Chains A and B, each alone.
Chain A
Amino acid sequence: MEIKVLFTILISTIFINNYVLAQMLGLCPFLGVSKKLDSALGMGLAVIFVMTLASFITFIVYKYILFPYEITYLRTIVFILVIASLVQLVEMIIEKTSPTLYQALGIFLPLITTNCAVLGVTVLNIDSGFISTEFGLLKSIVQGVGAGIGFTIALLLMAGIRERLETADIPKNLKGLPITFVTAGLLALSFLGFSGMKF
């Protein structure tokens, strides 16, 4: 039974409630990094890593420190500082292991801190009531993983399309951001089809 619930969460966050295309979170890096497929993939993997770890740590901090001591109003500050530290950590790891990727991601790596989707998934874990259900920690982690995977999929799709758009004949005023948004809109429209999936 529990596996089914986890699977539902996973499918729901990746397809039905895709964080970028359905919930409209994480847009700044989505538009900034999706120009090339390789940097998109690298960014996506970094985001999955940060989201999973952030879900884990913030959930534990909320359940065992913030909630029992009734300082839940410090949630926003604590969560964002946890995320900022994690991003710093990821930055250092990438710099050491793959300098080329580090160069390719450039400014967008520290910008994962301000990625609405990362803070969004940590807050949504709490708002979905996971702290009072059993296996709440596991559900939060799965939701984090799912959010990251959904973000990566959206990013990859966008990158693939944008690479093609480079060589397409687009009217002058539509070039750049406008056509990107319209494309994202059409992608979001296609993902709407998932909203009818039932379990």
Chain B
Amino acid sequence: MKKFLTKIILFFNNNYLAKPTFILALVVFLAAFILSHVKEITYPSILRQTEEKEKLALNLVLPGYHSLLKRRVEIEGKDFIFWEGEKKDLNKESKGYAFISFEPGYSGPVKSMVGFNDQGKILGIYILEQTETPGLGARCLEVASSQLFWTSFFKAKKKNLNHSRPWFQEQFKGLDLTKGIKILQKGDWNQSLRKELLQVNGITSLTGATITSKAVTKSLQAGFKVLKEKINLTIPAVQNLDNNFLEDDENINREREEE
């Protein structure tokens, strides 16, 4: 036994490569060992982040819907996840759906969640992940009214928390997924553009970030196409848009009452 040990020690000391390799391997092993513990500590928090963000997004894109069911469908070998929810207005139950899809943007995939009702009308979108250029594509997360740097010191305590949503995402509300969504270049969105955009079923793209705007739109339409084909949604063939400048769901309810 002793002979064997001395042989090993001699091997280490004489061989040019043995000792360095052993030490390097030891260092790497120790590093991996310590890191696995760090991972154990941080991973629950990381997983929770994704879940919470998803929940927040779902609440925003399917407002007022309850009993959300997460469903999984296999398409071409890949899992397609979507949510199905129910809403009750005036004794009539309607379903809403939401899914996440992504499309390569300018500098990476843009991941968005969209919620729509059983008529294919978008109720809201939420951009979950993007790595676009700040000042250009990243403006898809920009909130319309911003607080001044200088006044933030004074208004600090009176929290005028800006809960408004980014205009780029808000403008998708009310658009029809069964038809193609057009992309127009009308500069930044403002209230006066709303009617015009709804009429042509379009959005105004971010200045200097057409690629990002196109990526978001494409991801929504591609996901919807998949969902519509595989899940057999009942969507009426023709939608009469003549007197339907639908600003929000209250308008739909009012019309149903009139019917």
Chain A 167-199 interface mask (CB, 8 Å, partner B; 1/0):
000000000000000000000000000010010
CA distance A56 to B159 in the complex (A): 51
**A residues within 8 A CB of B35?**
73-74, 77
Q: Which B residues between 90 and 133 are near A, CB-CB below 8 angstroms?
A: 102, 104, 106-109, 131
CA distance A132 to B111 in the complex (A): 15
A191 to chain B, nearest CB (A): 14
Query: B28 contacts A129, CB within 8 Å?
Result: no
Closest to A9 in B: B104
Query: B39 contacts A73, CB within 8 Å?
Result: yes
User: Does A103 reach chain B (CB closer than 8 Å)?
Assistant: no
Q: Which A residues between 40 and 91 are near B, CB-CB below 8 angstroms?
A: 71, 73-74, 77, 81
Of A17, A129, A195, A198, which one neighbours B109 at CB under 8 angstroms? Answer: A129
B90 to chain A, nearest CB (A): 44
The count of chain A contact residues (Cβ–Cβ below 8 Å) is 13
**A residues within 8 A CB of B108?**
127-128
Closest to A195 in B: B106
CA distance A156 to B32 in the complex (A): 40
Query: B32 contacts A77, CB within 8 Å?
Result: yes
A141 to chain B, nearest CB (A): 18
Chain B 38-79 interface mask (CB, 8 Å, partner A; 1/0):
110000000000000000000000000000000000000010
Query: B32 contacts A74, CB within 8 Å?
Result: yes
Query: A77 contacts B39, CB within 8 Å?
Result: no
CA distance A198 to B106 in the complex (A): 11
CA distance A127 to B31 in the complex (A): 24
Closest to B102 in A: A129
**B residues within 8 A CB of A77?**
28, 31-32, 35
Query: B104 contacts A81, CB within 8 Å?
Result: no
B201 to chain A, nearest CB (A): 22
CA distance A192 to B35 in the complex (A): 40
A8 to chain B, nearest CB (A): 9
CA distance A81 to B27 in the complex (A): 12
CA distance A106 to B38 in the complex (A): 39
CA distance A198 to B131 in the complex (A): 19
Closest to B38 in A: A73
Query: B39 contacts A81, CB within 8 Å?
Result: no
Query: B109 contacts A81, CB within 8 Å?
Result: no
Chain A 131-165 interface mask (CB, 8 Å, partner B; 1/0):
01000000000000000000000000000000000
Query: B32 contacts A128, CB within 8 Å?
Result: no
A138 to chain B, nearest CB (A): 16
A25 to chain B, nearest CB (A): 12
Query: A17 contacts B107, CB within 8 Å?
Result: yes
Query: A81 contacts B107, CB within 8 Å?
Result: no
Closest to A124 in B: B108
A107 to chain B, nearest CB (A): 22
CA distance A81 to B28 in the complex (A): 10
Query: Among the interface residues A17, A132, A195, which one has the most CB atoms of the partner chain B within 10 A?
Result: A195
Chain A 99-134 interface mask (CB, 8 Å, partner B; 1/0):
000000000000000000000000000011100100
A83 to chain B, nearest CB (A): 15
**B residues within 8 A CB of A73?**
35-36, 38-39
CA distance A17 to B133 in the complex (A): 11
A9 to chain B, nearest CB (A): 10
**A residues within 8 A CB of B106?**
17, 195
Closest to A129 in B: B109
Q: List 13 A-B contacts (CB under 8 A).
A: A17-B107, A23-B107, A71-B32, A73-B35, A74-B32, A74-B35, A77-B28, A77-B31, A77-B35, A81-B28, A127-B108, A127-B131, A195-B106
Minimum-distance CB pairs A-B, first 4: A73-B39, A129-B109, A74-B32, A73-B35
A residues whose Cβ falls under 8 Å from a Cβ of B: 17, 23, 71, 73-74, 77, 81, 127-129, 132, 195, 198
Known: A73-B39, A77-B32, A129-B109. 4 other contacts (CB 8 A): A71-B32, A77-B35, A127-B108, A198-B211
